A and B are shown apart, each in its own frame.
Chain A
Amino acid sequence: MRDIYLFLRRMAGFLGLLFGGKKAWEARKELKKLDTAQWSRRIISDGILLNEIPSPTEDEHLRMKFISKRLEEFGISNVFSDEWGNVLALFPAFGSRQDFMLLVAEVGDCDYSPLENSVQITRELASGQNLGERSIGAASLLVFAEFAQATGFHLEKNLMVLFTRSSSVDEREDAFRHFLGSWADRISCAILVHGTKLGVLETKPMGTYRLSINVKSQERELLSPNAGPSAASIMGNIASRLGDITWDGPQKAMVNIARMEAGDGFGHWATQGEMDIEIISDDDKTLESIKHSVVETIESASEGLKYKIESLIRFRRSVGDPRRNAPLIDTLRTALEKVQIKTEEGLVSDKISLLNEKGIPAVCVGMTKATGNQNRDEIELGLIDSGFRQLLLVIEGGSRALEPVKEGQQ
């Protein structure tokens, strides 16, 4: 299928060069004076519509269907989808460049409920569960695609607009990994469009391991006089042991108990339990060594008991590579200065880490800021205008900032 993509891209690029070159060049020159208000309204409106579509569904097909239909309505012909639910639109560049700039947004929401996801708007704010975190980013990228199609916003670098499942519905990032498996060698840089995080420069590396622990005894009942401890006691013991350990010198690494389920009733026995453990560190080697220690600690907890303890790695995210991302971070910093948004340092996002693992420099661009009301995911409407302007500046700047990845650089 990738060959078909490339053939279509070249054809469209050639036609674009013939018929649209002048218009595109003028659009770029006009970028600074552009009235972005109408595009901001479209972002909010599409954000609302996306947020109210049920999710998760298989391969996130309901929300992806909305996105595909939108792209079709915008008149974008190079739209493709794959069996993992990814939806991809290609915007060919002028000239003979073969590399792509990837623009990616996440789609999907594991906490959806019709009532909580219903969006409310006041004069300055919009609120609705996961509106900023999950829907405004995808809506922004959608509206960027509409903008690019309507204005002829083509660059020297080919653009690839990708909508992929969010880590909230695809914990292992299977859909995104699958996409990268096919395309990584063609991508020279990437921008992750996020609903909130406006002004955040993701310069702090952070890697994660997530482990699932299953505790089970052959004996189901605890009533016999010689019965051992309950699963809850064993898991409590594991948590206690892990809590007593200092993992690294600077004490930046953390081991969290993310979930613990044990107890009698509701179809469970007191001798069964499950827990999830999250390991966080800013250094890949430390992350690995902590993971080994945690697994050993867990295994040793069952010594002398009639319990079987199994641990399973749910997923691993590497710490990211802020050094590789530095040119894009600089472009983002400059764009934020131009739209007069203050910057702050933040942790590297999961998808940025994955891109970095493949040797691709990447940056996360936020569209607005969340206010203090975390329960309703409340966002500031007025900032979306600055967010969109900044996105255009980063895309334009990023397309000039980097050369394609070469063999051996990864």
Chain B
Amino acid sequence: MKQNKGDSTILTRSYHSSAYSDKKRLVELKKSKNLTISLAFPTLNEESTIAKEILVLKTELMDRFPLLDEIAVIDSGSTDKTREIAKQFGASVFTSSEILKNYDSHRGKGENLWKSLYVLKGDIIVWIDADISNINPKFLYGLVGPLLENDDVGYVKAYYKRPIRSSTGLTPSGGGRVTEILIRPLFSLFYPELSQLVQPLSGEYAGRRSILEQLPFSVGYGVEVGHLIDLFHQFGPGIIAQVDMDERIHRNQTIEALSRMSYGVLATFLSRLEKYQEISLVKEMGKFHIALEADGNNLKAVHSPISLIERPPMRTIPEYNLKFPVPVMEEDLKRTSSPDL
């Protein structure tokens, strides 16, 4: 059931991070609402950027202004020094495959995010990609600000200008290519309300545990788009806000990588449409992303398996329920509610 709280236009809940730069006020808000906040970085070989991200955010938002209660790295098995460096700079480090071992392990960012819900302690969870070159505290306080200020907001996404970092320097425009070519047209066709998100695929977002634990997680590239469609259906677009972080400098991705990403995102999108009975697929979707590569004078097809696995809502995992019992009021509400609620 949609709980269309407040205005359903995401653009009216679009803020600038500077609106939340008074960190003392945010700390007071957090205390008064008796909330805790956790930050997790999903990582795979991020030794060149992870130290700076942890150092800046920990120093500013744990030591100076105690807005954050916890910083963790959820690692997919890095072969570089990501884990050692993260530990040295003060983050708790978890290896994804070691979390909830009874539930297998899959490789992908979505897997790390899903598992982070189990190991993190906070009422508000923030996820930030570990490859940001120009990390700034605003990435964090900008995301948690709307959640602390407005109880109706449950999920906040970052957006920004995205100059991309390449061997020739910074390209001022670019980035967000998958969004503009694939996601925005799809949202325009099926979910016009969600097309008001500037960067629906951005890797920096925050949400309330009480909401995130009710969402399934795509293990791979589709995790963000899956969240947005599930939030739309389960809670209504009124729960989503977005915050302008000015600029984010990150690595450039090749067209081949973006093509694989698009495959994962599109597969999640189509499976969600089917789940919510908005389209009916009459044919099973392909299991591989197929790229063409030059092989001498010929071309060859390269099949890459892209994980389309979905993790169920964390609330359905018994170990999670033991660790984070459903609050009594919530239990009562469930018993008295009709089954379709």
Contact = CB atoms under 8 A, between A and B. Distances in A.
Contacts of B64: 42, 73
A45 interface: yes
Interface string B22-62: 01100000000000000000000001110110011011100
B170 interface: yes
Given A114-B134, A114-B163, A114-B249, A121 B59 contact: no
B249 A73 contact: no
Interface size class of A (residues with CB under 8 A): 10 to 19
B136 A49 contact: yes
Contacts of B49: 120
Contact of B51 (A49, A52, A114, A121): A121
26 contacts: A38-B63, A41-B55, A42-B59, A42-B63, A42-B64, A44-B55, A45-B55, A45-B56, A45-B59, A45-B60, A48-B52, A48-B55, A49-B136, A114-B163, A114-B249, A115-B165, A118-B249, A119-B52, A120-B48, A120-B49, A121-B55, A122-B51, A122-B85, A123-B51, A123-B81, A123-B84
Interface size class of B (residues with CB under 8 A): 20 to 34
Nearest to A74: B64
Contacts, number: 51
Interface of A: 38, 41-42, 44-45, 48-49, 52, 73, 114-115, 118-123
Nearest to B52: A121
Interface of B: 23-24, 47-49, 51-52, 55-56, 58-60, 63-64, 81, 84-85, 88, 133-134, 136-137, 163, 165, 169-170, 249
Question: Which of B60, B64, B84, B165 has the largest count of A CB atoms less than 10 A from its CB?
Answer: B64
Given A48-B52, A123-B51, A123-B85, A41 B134 contact: no
B93 to A, nearest CB: 14
B27 to A, nearest CB: 11
B55 A73 contact: no
Nearest to B64: A42
Contacts of B60: 45
Contact of B134 (A42, A52, A73, A123): A52
A73 B24 contact: yes
Contacts of B163: 114
A154 B265 CA distance: 59
Contacts of B24: 73
Given A49-B56, A120-B52, A115 B170 contact: yes
